[in-house]
Amino acid sequence: MTLIACKECGTEISTKASACPKCGAKVPKTKWWLWVPLGLGAAFLMFGAVVGSSPEAQEKSQERRAIDLCWEEQKRKSFDAGTQRFVAGACEMMESKFTQKYGHRP
């Protein structure tokens, strides 16, 4: 049980009480849901730490993501044929670099 000071009169009241016994002011409840995003964030970070435990694995997944993004970009309709070819060339270069570095395709 935790005791907090009433914000109205300063009387120590239990956090389990819904109102101050002396003045009747409402006891502020802990907003537990405020911790939900924090908890999720921490879980996500922990998950990331387990999956990408080695810096090499992290780098690898980052490079793979960059290649994915590159191809996504390449498929963009707003590019003309010449630009698409150029971007495709850049993506292929990234892919071949990846293949050389890790011994397999991304």
**Least distance to Zn ion, CB of residue 28, Å:** 12
The yes or no reply on residue 91 touching Zn ion (CB under 5 A) is no
**Helix (H) or strand (E) segment spanning residue 13:** strand 12-14
Give me the least distance between CB of 16 and Zn ion, in Å please: 15
In which region does residue 14 sit, left (phi positive, over 0), alpha (psi from -120 to 50) or beta (all else)?
Answer: beta
Assess 5 for contact with Zn ion (CB under 5 A). Answer: no
Q: Which residues pair with 26 in a beta bridge?
A: 19
Where do contacts with Zn ion occur on this chain (CB under 5 A)? 6, 8-9, 11, 20, 22-23, 25
